[in-house]
Chain A
Amino acid sequence: MLQLLQQISTRASGWVELRYHVRCSKRIAVRNGRLEESSTLRLAGIGVRALIDGVFGFSSTTDISEKGIEQAVSEAQSAARVSAVAKRDKIAPLPHMVLASGEFAFQTDDPLDGHSLAEKLELVMRIDERVRSAAKKIVSSSVAYSELQDEKVIVTSDGAAAHIIDSKPDFRVLAVAQQDGDRAMGTDSAGVTGGYADLFAMRTPEEMTDKAVRLAVDQLGADYAAGEVATVVLDPGLVGVLSHEAIGHTVEADLVRGGAITSGKIGTQVGSNLVTLCDSGPSTHMPHAAGELLVDDEGVRTGRTVIIDHGILRSYLHNRESAAYFGVEPTGNARAFEYSDEPIIRMRNTYIEPGISSVEEIIAGVKRGYYLQGLGGGGQADSNAEFMFGVREAYEIVDGKIGKMVRGVTISGNAFEVLKSVDAVGNDFTWGLGAGHCGKGQLAKVDAGGPHLRCIVTIGGRQE
């Protein structure tokens, strides 16, 4: 396939990018003892980008014969040619650079295909049963396993020739508890780049079950938090959510040009000098990050991009086009989820670098506040960095000690104001966002995390 794509790209007039992508995905989902899904999906095709008169055109096809691919190339070229008549902003030719060439494969000692579908099905059924038998108050359960196995060949007219092998499984557990008409949900999940054993390296399926059950049961009868501005300690999961959702999207160069709040702020203080925030293709600090990406979908080798360095905004996240526009090197953030998606700027593994404080010290320094763990029930953030997240697990802190659980907590604010309020950063590190996907028109597997940190946010509770 590599050779065929190289021949076609050589023959094509102008710049083209050919990306062959075969994905085999599997999914098993069980709820309340019922098997809701056991399925496989095979997606194969080629996505083509052409650059003509300073404008990209894209086409995709499932016909991977030489003739079919050439047809797709000519469709991408005509889409570009027609758009070029109306498009105001033209792209300069992409700057020359050394693109990825060779084999790039994820690492594992325990490949997913070494475990049969029957084994994975048995695990999901067994864990679902375990959730429901864990406590009398549990009234509903849901467990799902899914995996993506990808093979890609990326060829461009200007030298990319990469063969990429990737593997990303994830696992989720959900428990619903009920008592006297009151209901609460508890969840736990894991997602990695790697093999079967890597998925359960942090917590076994049983430990994830116990966590989800405990969260659901403990929330019953817990009080709701009051609405107020409060000092909080965020766990690595929430630090990841803040880094990815509230900060990360505002530094995606396409959104910066679309008017995001970080526009024109490079070199300025945007957070406390304790904060260094990065987005990395390889897994840093801890292996198997779910957003691991060795080569991006434009054929650019990835590395660690420092977005905020000790409080100073240093870099946006770029593809080749935006890097040329801003006059910097591409950061390897161009990603396409499926063969039929064109590469757009996406995050990979977004995190805050560990600091020097122990978690105990950080909590001990709070006179009155909250210890908040994990994303619960979703959230949202805008390009002006205003965010709102649901919190999965929340405890009061009184005089430096963790107190009783509170429920229904949301946090909100402006993410950069929150970063400025950071006065302690932990010396720990965990990835916490591996399961599920980030959506931006198309999906992407990402991860995010960091250490614990202390800051000030608005707590949304119930105003009586």
Chain B
Amino acid sequence: MNSKLIDLCQDTLDRTKQKGADEVEVYGESVRTITVAIEKNDLQVSRAQKETMIGVRAMCEKRIGFASTNDLTTIDETCADAVTLAKASPTDENNVLPQREENKYVSGIYDPASEGFGIEQAIEQAVRMLDIASSIDKRLILGDGEFAVHIGTRALINSNGVSWAEPESLFVYYALATARDGEEVSNMDYQFDATRRADAIDVEPITRRACENALGSLGAQKGESFNGQVMLSPNAAQSLFASLILFQSNAKNVLRGMSRWKDMLGNAVASDLISVVDDGRLANGVGTSSFDREGVAHKRLNLIEGGRLTSFMHNTYTATALGMENTGHAAGSARSVPGIGPSNFEILPGDRSKNELIAEIDKGVLVTRFSGRADPVSGDFSGVAKGGYLIENGHVSRPIRGTLIAGNAFDALKTLSGVSREQERVFSLTLPYLRLERISVTAG
């Protein structure tokens, strides 16, 4: 399949040049997907899908156009569209394609055993999720869930001689649980995990966690209003901080003038307890691959070290425009122009346990999920603490409902007082528990 896809990309590149482009990049993705869905404690629809998508970036004198198609009978029109769009666009000197470098392939992202993984095996895993939930408590409802298999190949070539092709396999599963006791409906809890290898699939931990969190929020009562400490679960930390950090460290937002950290390289942007890395070559990582969306080799990058901002995430455009080193963070599918995104993002663990951090809280709130908004520009956040618990005298005392938390995420990141040893994976992100200070808590 590798060589077939790369031949298709090469043919597309040649045709685009013939139509008048002076530089061309072609990205191809060929994917087979099996999805088994869970809905209201039962199997829902099972799906089998196959698609090959080709995305063409054409440049004419530093003007750029992009077109993509999944209809391989329209490749010629697609090449023509890309050239037409390029010619209608303004010139931008920063429109360049990466140069050729040595191809170093990562291992461990493709499991040949996945080829034999069929709909029967996928259904078996989904049934296991249902069985786990019903064995925990009859009040539980797996309202939604999924077990999915993606097996495919990515290929990228450009007119500078860059040429990559790589197969990959990925098993992704999630569970969304609520508990219903008479009239009372608990909060919904959502957990997911993923692996590259068929023999590493384990749906139990996430199913159990979603169910226990849903059950735990039953009987929730009104909380209290105060200004104080808040403990965020990895899931809540993802909503409040991972997106914020990714937004600020995205070089596109630096270029756009939207990143608060645009002039902060080398300076403190967070508590010295915080270190953040993004490693596109992480062994067994969900976001691991050899090359990025533009054919630049992935590598390990320190974004924040001991609270100091050490790098932004770049693609070729932003690296050229800002005169910085390309970090290989071009991201996206064959359907759209390369953007910027993380691969395996991690807030490094601290040296204290979650329980030690809670033990020091006289009055606070434990937030397992945050439902609300965090404005990436101002940093203001405000939302409901879902699956919230009151913490009193060093212990988690009782579930609370409708409690609002509000504050500023930039300030909170600087003043936070604890990072747990425990980490959880939130899809391709790996995050610890975080203890925040001076957060506004309002009983709903």
Q: Point out residues on A near B: beta carbons under 8 Å.
A: 31-32, 34-45, 49, 55-62, 75-76, 78-80, 82-83, 85-89, 117-118, 121, 125, 139-140, 142, 176, 182-185, 227, 254-255, 257-261, 340, 342, 377-380, 382-384, 386, 388, 390, 408, 410, 412-414, 458, 460-464
Give A71's nearest chain B residue, CB to CB.
B50
Q: How large is the interface on B (under 10, 10 to 19, 20 to 34, 35 or more residues)?
A: 35 or more
Contacting pair B39 A254 (CB below 8 A) = yes
Q: Is B360 an interface residue, CB under 8 A from the partner?
A: no
Within 8 A of A (CB), among B382-430: 382-384, 386, 401-402, 404, 406-407
Contacting pair B372 A87 (CB below 8 A) = no
Q: A32-B256, A460-B442 are in contact. Are A37 and B371 (CB under 8 A)?
A: no
User: Within the complex, which residue of A44, A390, A464 is in contact with B382, where a contact is CB–CB below 8 Å?
Assistant: A390
Can you name 22 A-B residue pairings with CB atoms under 8 Å? A37-B66, A38-B89, A39-B336, A39-B337, A41-B68, A43-B71, A45-B51, A45-B70, A87-B43, A121-B88, A121-B89, A184-B378, A340-B51, A342-B45, A384-B178, A384-B185, A384-B186, A388-B384, A390-B372, A460-B404, A462-B440, A463-B227
Distance in angstroms between the alpha carbons of A85 and B78 in the assembled complex: 44
Contacting pair A408 B382 (CB below 8 A) = yes
Contacting pair A62 B119 (CB below 8 A) = no
B256 / chain A contacts, CB cutoff of 8 Å: 31-32, 140, 142
How many whole Å from B122's CB to the nearest CB in chain A?
A: 9
User: Within the complex, which residue of B51, B71, B258, B444 is in contact with A413, where a contact is CB–CB below 8 Å?
Assistant: B444
Q: A121-B88, A259-B178, A390-B373 are in contact. Are A463 and B70 (CB under 8 A)?
A: no
How many whole Å from B267's CB to the nearest CB in chain A?
A: 15
Q: Is B14 an interface residue, CB under 8 A from the partner?
A: no
The 9 A-B residue pairs whose C-beta atoms are closest, nearest first, are: A463-B440, A258-B143, A39-B66, A44-B71, A258-B40, A227-B442, A384-B185, A79-B46, A377-B373
A460 / chain B contacts, CB cutoff of 8 Å: 382-383, 404, 406, 442
Give A227's nearest chain B residue, CB to CB.
B442
Q: Is B335 an interface residue, CB under 8 A from the partner?
A: yes
Contacting pair A78 B119 (CB below 8 A) = yes
Q: A117-B85, A462-B440 are in contact. Are A37 and B337 (CB under 8 A)?
A: yes
Q: A140-B256, A390-B373 are in contact. Are A117 and B70 (CB under 8 A)?
A: no
Distance in angstroms between the alpha carbons of A61 and B70 in the assembled complex: 10
How many whole Å from A444's CB to the nearest CB in chain B?
A: 17
Q: Point out residues on B near A: beta carbons under 8 Å.
A: 36, 39-40, 42-43, 45-52, 64-72, 74, 77-78, 81, 84-85, 88-90, 92, 119-120, 123, 126-127, 141, 143-144, 178, 180, 185-188, 225-227, 255-258, 260, 335-337, 371-373, 375, 377-378, 380, 382-384, 386, 401-402, 404, 406-407, 440-442, 444
User: Within the complex, which residue of A89, A117, A342 is in contact with B47, where a contact is CB–CB below 8 Å?
Assistant: A342
Give B123's nearest chain A residue, CB to CB.
A86
How many whole Å from B224's CB to the nearest CB in chain A?
A: 11
Contacting pair B88 A118 (CB below 8 A) = yes
Distance in angstroms between the alpha carbons of A183 and B89 in the assembled complex: 31
Give A257's nearest chain B residue, CB to CB.
B40
Contacting pair B85 A39 (CB below 8 A) = yes
* Most chain B CB atoms below 10 A, which of A39, A59, A121: A39
Contacting pair A117 B185 (CB below 8 A) = no
Give B35's nearest chain A residue, CB to CB.
A58
Contacting pair A44 B70 (CB below 8 A) = yes
User: Within the complex, which residue of B123, B143, B371, B440 is in contact with A380, where a contact is CB–CB below 8 Å?
Assistant: B371
Give B120's nearest chain A residue, CB to CB.
A82
Distance in angstroms between the alpha carbons of A185 and B375 in the assembled complex: 9
Distance in angstroms between the alpha carbons of A44 and B54 in the assembled complex: 13
A260 / chain B contacts, CB cutoff of 8 Å: 185
A458 / chain B contacts, CB cutoff of 8 Å: 402, 404, 442, 444
Distance in angstroms between the alpha carbons of A430 and B283 in the assembled complex: 53
Contacting pair B40 A254 (CB below 8 A) = yes
Give A56's nearest chain B residue, CB to CB.
B45
A76 / chain B contacts, CB cutoff of 8 Å: 48
A75 / chain B contacts, CB cutoff of 8 Å: 48
A57 / chain B contacts, CB cutoff of 8 Å: 45-47
* Most chain A CB atoms below 10 A, which of B47, B72, B225: B47
B384 / chain A contacts, CB cutoff of 8 Å: 380, 386, 388, 412
User: Within the complex, which residue of A45, A55, A88, A255 is in contact with B143, where a contact is CB–CB below 8 Å?
Assistant: A255
User: Within the complex, which residue of B42, B47, B70 is in contact with A62, where a contact is CB–CB below 8 Å?
Assistant: B70
Contacting pair A34 B119 (CB below 8 A) = no
Distance in angstroms between the alpha carbons of A39 and B66 in the assembled complex: 5
B74 / chain A contacts, CB cutoff of 8 Å: 42, 44
How many whole Å from A309's CB to the nearest CB in chain B?
A: 23
Give A255's nearest chain B residue, CB to CB.
B143
Contacting pair A461 B406 (CB below 8 A) = yes
User: Within the complex, which residue of A79, A139, A377, A414 is in contact with B375, where a contact is CB–CB below 8 Å?
Assistant: A377
Q: A38-B66, A42-B74, A83-B43 are in contact. Are A125 and B336 (CB under 8 A)?
A: no
Extra 14 A-B pairs, beta carbons < 8 Å, given A36-B337, A40-B85, A378-B373? A38-B65, A39-B66, A42-B67, A43-B70, A62-B70, A184-B377, A184-B378, A227-B404, A258-B141, A379-B372, A380-B371, A380-B372, A458-B444, A462-B406
Contacting pair A86 B92 (CB below 8 A) = no
How many whole Å from A318's CB to the nearest CB in chain B?
A: 15
Distance in angstroms between the alpha carbons of A227 and B441 in the assembled complex: 10
How many whole Å from A244's CB to the nearest CB in chain B?
A: 16
Distance in angstroms between the alpha carbons of A386 and B51 in the assembled complex: 39
Q: A35-B89, A39-B66, A39-B67 are in contact. Are A60 and B373 (CB under 8 A)?
A: no
How many whole Å from A232's CB to the nearest CB in chain B?
A: 16
Distance in angstroms between the alpha carbons of A463 and B365 in the assembled complex: 15
